[in-house]
Structure 1
Amino acid sequence: MSETTLQPSVSPPDPAVDLTVSGSVRRRPRREDVRAALLEAAVEVFEETGYLAARLDVIAERAGYTKGAIYSNFGSKQELFASLLAERLAGITADFLAKSADFSSFGELLQYSAARLADEVLREQAWHTLVVEFTIQAGRDSEVGAVYQAQRRIRRDLLAATIADRAAPFGGSADPNDYSVLAMMLLATVNGLAIEVAADPDGVTREQIRDSLAAVLTAALALRSP
């Protein structure tokens, strides 16, 4: 009679768990948590040193990871910065949509939008300086330029879609394509005002910024259906 040797069952390794040298269990962080930590650290380092001087190893160390974590999540410094731009725009857009749903007239919405953007221009001066630096670099480096161009197009499209979403309840067109020119004008105005504030912070007031933005946004009234 043959004798069968029973082998103990072995569970497959859990890909979310690492064993330390001592044999203790250490759970790996989720990819989205790693990404969020890297983005948070990147904002700090970019604002402290500028885009060109920022080093990926410093960003990774600030987040508690190795530089390889950045490459596996973003691929390059320019893609990391472009991801930051996208994240910030998405956050601003979500905040705008959440707070602008209860206005009773298009005029009220317009004034709120101008004031909201004026506050953004004043509050995020360090960030606007970074964007200007990244823009200059994009004009000199084709790889940075390709990433930046794609990000700018996404930003214009998202802004046009946001304007359409808010204008439609007041009789405006619901087609984002109808607001592509307005979106470009608005972004150019915000960028220009940010440069004016950076160049002469004591000579540009919040009211001037708000009124400049309101004047541009008034163009949206012409796009409303009769």
Structure 2
Amino acid sequence: MDVFSDPLNVDVYVTGFLWILRLTAAGAFFALVLGVVLAGMRVSPVPVLRGFGAAWVNIFRNTPLTLIVFFCYFGLYSTLGLSIVDDIDMNNFWLGVIGLAVYTAAFVCEAIRSGINTIPAGQAEAARAVGMSFLQTLTIIVLPQAGRAVIAPLGSIFIALCKNATIVGTIGLMESSNAMKELINANGDAVIPIFLVFAGTFAVVLIPTGYGFGWLANRLAVKR
């Protein structure tokens, strides 16, 4: 553990995990928003919207995340010149967030759609009978109940997102996997301790998070 007695090495370690937390938070937020919209499309009475939602889910669920992140960097940034901010690290961060969000949104969509399918059809029929539109029925009646029903699956998706965020290191962001690689390259005799510290940090963060989502799911479960 002598490697972590050096403040510079500690700074590399902390910086790497701070980038992971930022990627996870931003990616989860945009994936949740996009996933809810896609889930609404999947159950929409409009065929075009249903087709778009289904195409999005099938394409992104079956495309490796690495390819999506590479496309965001080499396609959007290098080829098309999409520059979100001037700072290179922040630009790579937002490109990574785009890749994580569009990929994870496909899984969020299916989780929410499964929750929507647990709502008795009679509730939607009653809402339509009193004159509520599809959008009103979805946002006021269906989604609040569906959201409570899929907290545990969403927790698993966001935990996977946190681990998937390390892939953004492939486009140059100094997140935890790149930080670990840098420390191993500089301290070749301490490979195992470095690995254990990084793996242990993920475990310390994600295991309680999983239990927290499980507790919240039981706490907010819809009693039928």
TM-score computed with the length of structure 1 as normaliser: 0.30
User: Which structure has the bigger radius of gyration?
Assistant: 1
More helix by share: 2
TM-score computed with the length of structure 2 as normaliser: 0.31
- Higher RCO (C-alpha 8 Å, min separation 6): 2
